[in-house]
A and B are shown apart, each in its own frame.
Chain A
Amino acid sequence: MRALLDRTFREAGGRVIAALAASFRDLDLAEEAFAEACARAIERWGSAPPVDPAAWLYAVGRRWALDRLRRRITAAGYRPDVPAPPPTPEDQAMALDDPIPDERLRLIFVCCHPAMNAEARVALTLRTVCGLTTPQIAAAFLTPEPTLAQRLVRAKRKIAEAGVPFEVPGPDHWPERMDAVLSTLEIAYAQAHADAAGLGPNADLAVEVLGLTALLARLVSEDAEVQALAATVRFTEARRPARLAVDGTMIPLTLQDTTLWDTGLIAEADLYLARSAALSQASRTRPGPRALQAAIHGAHAGRRKTGVTPWAAILGIYNALLGLRDDPVIRTNRAVALAEVEGPESGLAALDLTPIPGWLPWHAARGDMLVRIGHDAEALHEFEAALALGPSAAEQRYLAACRDTSRSRLSPFSA
């Protein structure tokens, strides 16, 4: 029974907390009110939750918060505008199919305000918009719980004291603000995806990010970059079942067994990608960085049907992407595509144009290309450099296997 209740609270949490926070413009009050409503639910619900548990929790939480505010105001001796008392939970749940206003978009913009510290944005969004608990977020980010709790407290205090507005920003602020929202979701997903083993808290986090990107894509249906991010996380998540060999070794994207990919997620991703492309075309704007990234994932996903990766097309997209966003990740990935199209020598030359020593993917890509041109001694050096950077267990197994292969080719009799 308790497990059922917990799941109900969890599912309702994001919407209820967001609606309460938007109506009272106070995140702390919203969280307290939700916790209070859950406590009452445990007493009252008995053997079964009501038909619409979220509506019940919202109505009870709202009454509690109003009482709390009135007492505060009476104590302070003055009465500013307070919203009228809401109908009883039962009235409210009966009155409408969907009585809770969906304020999650507003809350996403509050939590991902560029004036907030980037780490705090992620934690706050997961807490307020997804309803994850502090221990759950701490586990996913490998952050000690007290540290995370403090970060949340500080962030909420800043929102209240610095006057961060509880509004969806106007069109003139849109590009900057939306970019902050999308990067927050990217950080959250990167965390969920970081470990190829991807079990436990990380897999849960991935589910939350899938949900958030779907929500955002629905609420902001005319933004090509928003649609593109929803596509990218789905293409990536679809590959989760194929990322590990039976022995726990990471399998790189191009060697994955495509029959293990999640076709349902790929189909969803294809739809978001198509919508993103259609929006760019309709507005006659060039695709943004996230649209290009989604297109690259889409091209990789195509291997499932054709059996081959369209490297020339992928290289073309990377070239376009490099024109928008010149960063080491894109340079390295472009070099990998170049190696497939023009040969490992070209790829290697591209990698060496802007060396990034101390960055694992750069060493791993360089090692791979050196192997392909028969320079095992140098390759061995790169794999060792990559291994020294403390990769995850799955990556570590993969890199160690690469290193051992190069080593045995160098001195076949010592292996």
Chain B
Amino acid sequence: MQYALLIYEPEAEAYPAGEADEAWHAILTAHTAFGGELAQAGAMRSGAGLKSARTATTVKVTPESRTVHDGPFAETREQLGGLYVIDVPDLDAAIAWAKKLPIAGTGSIEIRPTLGMPEDA
């Protein structure tokens, strides 16, 4: 099964100096190692690290309009910082990877099964 691991971190607390922060560089190195481990286990499908939520632009959609706003979709304490898509046998395996995922301080990792291709036989 494929799962997305969505990484949420309190950006301002974890990386006060943004991308210039030492912690930022440390976490990038850790993610490189983690990605390597995933690939070696044959579980890596894809993934992306995201730039700071300060760089986010949001298109808000209503039935009538689509308007462009500055900032992430919701002002929350934790922001989406990146994601992996992994291919593992079951939820327990996905949880095991999520528990190993590098996080600078506090944070959350949401595990979501991805939609399969309809009956790909």
Which residue numbers of A lie inside 8 Å of B, CB to CB? Answer: 76-78, 113, 115, 161-165, 167, 169, 172-173
Contacts and interface: CB of A to CB of B under 8 A. Distances in A.
A161 B119 CA distance: 15
Contact of A163 (B96, B113, B119): B113
Interface of B: 1, 3, 89-92, 94-96, 111, 113, 119, 121
A175 to B, nearest CB: 13
A260 to B, nearest CB: 46
A163 B91 contact: yes
Contacts of A161: 113
Residue with the highest number of chain A CB atoms closer than 10 Å, among B1, B90, B96: B90
Given A165-B89, A169-B92, 5 more contacts: A115-B95, A162-B113, A163-B1, A164-B90, A165-B91
Contacts of B3: 163
17 contacts: A76-B119, A113-B91, A115-B91, A115-B95, A162-B91, A162-B111, A162-B113, A163-B1, A163-B3, A163-B91, A163-B113, A164-B92, A165-B90, A165-B91, A165-B92, A169-B92, A172-B96
A76 B119 CA distance: 8
A78 B113 contact: no
A266 B42 CA distance: 53
Contacts of B92: 164-165, 167, 169, 173
Contact of A77 (B1, B94, B96, B121): B121
Determine chain A's interface SS by DSSP, over half rule: loop
Contacts, number: 32
B119 A164 contact: no
Contact of B90 (A76, A77, A78, A163): A163
Nearest to B90: A165
Contacts of A172: 96
B96 to A, nearest CB: 8
Nearest to A115: B91
Nearest to A173: B92
Nearest to B94: A163
A247 to B, nearest CB: 52
A378 B13 CA distance: 48
B89 to A, nearest CB: 7
Contacts of B113: 161-163
A394 to B, nearest CB: 43
B5 to A, nearest CB: 13
A162 B116 CA distance: 12
A167 B94 CA distance: 15
Nearest to B89: A165
Contacts of A163: 1, 3, 89-91, 94, 113
A167 B89 CA distance: 12
B91 A78 contact: no
A113 B121 CA distance: 31
Contacts of A162: 91, 111, 113
Contacts of B89: 163, 165
B77 to A, nearest CB: 23
A169 B95 CA distance: 12
B91 A164 contact: yes
**Which has the most chain B C-beta neighbours within 10 Å: A162, A167, A172?**
A162
A327 B94 CA distance: 32
A167 to B, nearest CB: 8
Nearest to B121: A78
B33 to A, nearest CB: 21
Nearest to A109: B92
Contacts of A173: 92, 96
Contacts of B90: 163-165, 167
Closest 4 CB pairs of A and B: A165-B90, A78-B121, A163-B1, A163-B91
A44 to B, nearest CB: 37
Contacts of A76: 119, 121
A161 B95 CA distance: 15
